[in-house]
Structure 1
Amino acid sequence: MKTLFTFLIILILAAILGIVAYQDNGYVLIGRGYTTVEMSLALFIVLQISLYLLIAFILRSIKQTWSLPDIIKQHHHRSKTAKAHKTSKQGLIALAQGQWKKAEKALIKNIDNTETPLLNYLSAARAAQKLNEPERRDHYLSMAHKSMPDADFAVELTQAELQLAHGQLEQSLATLVHLRSISPKHSHVLNLLAQLYEKLSSWQELNDLLPELKKYKVVNQAELYRLQKIVFQQLLKKAAKVTETNKIPNHLISTWQLLPKKLKNDADLILEYSQQLIQLKQYDIAEPLLRTAIKHQWLTTFVYLYGLVKATQAQQQLDFAENLTKQHGQNPVLLLTLGRLCLTQELWGKAQAYLEASLGITPMPETYKELGELMEQLGEPEKASDYFKQGLLLTESHFSYQNLPIQTLPIN
């Protein structure tokens, strides 16, 4: 467009000059000593313009000749840069395709001429990680830092991620703690820390991190719930051990109180807490917890644990369990639970009826065991021995009540 505009200007000026020359050709006289040159004004102007163009051409040629080494150098640099860009592109494609060896080789081949050495070194470090070459990985990370010192955070973040993937948990922890001190709200740092604490079984540290994961929306709701659940499962187990040592249940109970309301309704956590309470013989705390859980959701594991509870209000406990037979009268685990609750109250005949009914539906080792002990109590050692023997045979077949189908029907 610029060339066309210049051409039009010259054309217009030439036209004007032609018109002027046609009307009056003009006269120019140049003299020096005894020598004179005469010519028309139009010719003089043409010669002046021609001379100017000739001088400009000569000066331009001299300048280009003088700059020729730089031009060749720039062309060579552009050629090397283009080649480096091509190999870098090939390396990144190979990395995405899982061709780790090919990727590493391509990424570092022309790295001195690439415009993004940091990216190449970090990508090469990932490839070396996949090839199980931690020394080469660390070398590339070191070179990445040297190539761009201002990108120290990015290099360390990549280093922490690769250390975590390689199982170098302590080194990764040190790196991530340092990065968190620099950028406390960085979502990827927090996410990696959550993964690391879970691998290290550092449940209290992970619990302390949960509010930040939620606040900054580092993970989705499903993942947050999973982390909360596993944290409190482990904290409940830890609290139970402390309680068992101190013989005081307060630590276990206070840990349960820390749970968010939603988690207190989680079946797995209720089971975990109930089992710990039963093991610590805190029956009067376990009974209402399991009764409420059974009312909201029918799980055979809830019902099974309910039969292990020896609450102070034993009759009320038995009445509640018997009321469940209206909907689940043919459930073998419920009948086993009823048999156990009757045994607690020394209702021998009723206990025997429930236990035998349970065996009639699904034989279970624990049912045989309870009947064997009942027969001993009733002074019938032969029957007791027979029940114990059948229970042992069933146990050898690796039976477990947990393998029974779990029903999840709501109770009205």
Structure 2
Amino acid sequence: MKSVIWLLLLFTLAVLLALFARENNGYALLFFNQWRMELSLNAFVLLFVFLLGGGYGLLKLLDWLVSMPGNVRQYQAARRASNAGKYHREALLAMFEGRHLRAERNLRVALASQDNPELRLADTLIAVRASHSCRDFERRDAYLAQAREIGGPRSLARLMLEAELLGEQYRTREALDLLHQVYAISPKLTSALKLELKLRQQENHPARVIELADMLERSEAIDAGQAFRVRAQARLAQLKLVPMDSRELERWWASLGKDERHQPRLAAAAAREFGRLALIERAETIVVEALESNWDVSLLEVYGELGRMDGKGDAVKRLARAEEWLRHHPNDHSLLLALGRLCRDAALWGKARTYLEASVAVTATPVAHAELGQLLEQLDEREEANEQYRASLGLALDLLERRG
């Protein structure tokens, strides 16, 4: 529709110009020194339009000739940028496909054609990751040196990538030094905190792991469940790291939250530490409270060992409590095993044998067979004891084969 309107306007203008030229009887008189020229007004208008158009065309030609070198350089730069962009896209696709060697080759070509410093830095860092994935560490370090030259010493992207790669090589100290530089630029960078958490776990630094887990949970970088598991693992590491005396252990236990104190593995480990210090009643309280919250095999195992720990404990009371649990968990082989151990430690040989045989009948385990074998050996039933030992060894070998 627009083209039709334009055609109508052009035809109208042509008609008006033709009418003007036919009806116009004017003339133009031009003087230049002693020269005089007389022209019809129509001829003057046509001559003026021709000269104006010719002058404009000449100026455009001169401008094109003058700007030709710059245009050539601009064209070459655009061609180089297009070529670099092509290889950059192919390299990214190869990276996502897991073809790291092809990605590195494409990036090498892209870098040769790339003039933009920011894009050069990005391509260099991708090449660093690709070379690292190919385990070509010499080439990776060469690309890292290029990245330092392009981005400078405070390039956050380069520092984070280098720290991550060094962490993957278990070069923990070097990676942590780089993270200190990252924190100087961005003190609360979430990705840096996550990477440090991983490195501190490698380094076995539980106090810092707990601190980082709290920070990441508050910033919602990790969910509450993940933070809880990380903290629980760090608490276990704290127990193994340096043996504590009774005051230190009590202070450490009091610093835990309620959910942590009821975590089965953590409660079992803490109870064993209290038992090591001959604080049997404290260990028993920890196990009982945790069992009431979370019924777990590891806690039952510790409860069954309480009688063998040094100290003064009420064996009859413990046995009565365990038998009360049995009413609610009649087919729990771990509870039956714990009852057998408690009875054996209390010198109740008949009940111990009954409970251990029941545990084996419910679920045969290497530990239950071994416990029953030791009891039968004490009762001077050596042949039956040897049968239990053989059964224990056979189950243990089966478990090793399945895991191997």
Deviation of residue 255 (structure 1)?
1.9
Structure 1 unaligned regions, length at least 5: 376-381, 404-412
Instruction: For CA contacts below 8 A with separation 6 or more, give which structure has more relative contact order.
Output: 1
Q: 5 Å matches for 1:138-217? A: 138-149=141-152, 152-217=155-220
| Residue in 1 that maps onto 2:92 | 92
For 2:113, the equivalent position in structure 1 comes to 113
Report the counterpart of residue 379 of structure 1 in structure 2: none
AA aligned opposite 2:77? H
Give distance in 2, aligned partners of 1:345 and 1:33.
Answer: 140
1:2-401 alignment, distance < 5 Å: 20-31=20-31, 36-114=36-114, 115=116, 116-149=119-152, 152-238=155-241, 241-243=242-244, 248-310=245-307, 312-355=313-356, 358=359, 362=364, 364-373=369-378, 375=379, 382-383=380-381, 385-386=382-383, 388-399=385-396
Q: Is the 8 A contact 1:190 1:213 kept in 2?
A: yes
Post-superposition offset of 1:273: 1.8
| Larger displacement relative to structure 2 (122-131 or 34-43) | 34-43
The answer to whether the 8 Å contact 1:157/1:179 transfers is yes
Q: Following TM superposition, by how much is the alpha carbon of 1:53 offset from its aligned partner in structure 2, in angstroms? A: 1.2
Please tell me the residue identity of whatever aligns with 1:87: Y
- In the TM superposition, 1:395-410 aligns within 5 A as 395-399=392-396
Output the amino acid matched with 1:318. L
Q: Secondary structure at the match of 1:307?
A: helix
Per-residue CA shift, 1:369-404, capped at 9, x if unaligned? 13433x3xxxxxx43x4454344333432549x99x
- CA distance 1:223–1:360, change in 2 (3 Å): closer
Q: How far apart, CA to CA, are the structure 2 residues paired with 1:270 and 1:173?
A: 32
Query: Which stretch shows the higher mean deviation, 26-35 or 317-326?
Result: 26-35
- TM-score computed with the length of structure 2 as normaliser: 0.83
- Distance in 2, matches of 1:6 and 1:149, equals 59
Identical residues among aligned pairs (%): 24
Deviations 1:284-331 (A, max 9, x none): 012122223333343343333212213633332222122223234454
Q: Distance in 2 between matches of 1:48 and 1:134?
A: 74
Q: 1:187 to 1:27 in 2, by over 3 A?
A: same
CA distance in 2, matches of 1:391, 1:254: 43
In structure 2, list runs of 5 or more residues that go unmatched.
none
Between 1:273-282 and 1:111-120, the stretch displaced more is 273-282
RMSD over aligned CA atoms reads 3.3
- Amino acid in the other structure paired with 1:366: E
Q: Say how many residue pairs are matched.
A: 386
Whole-Å separation in 2 of the counterparts to 1:58 and 1:77: 28
CA distance in 1, matches of 2:89, 2:198: 31
Return 88-97 or 107-116, whichever deviates more. 107-116
If the length of structure 1 is used for normalisation, what is the TM-score?
A: 0.82
What do residues 167-217 of structure 1 show as CA deviations (whole Å, max 9, x unaligned)?
322211110122123211100110110111111222222123222112222
- For residues 8 and 157 of structure 1, the distance between their equivalents in structure 2, rounded to whole angstroms, comes to 67
Amino acid at match of 2:181: H
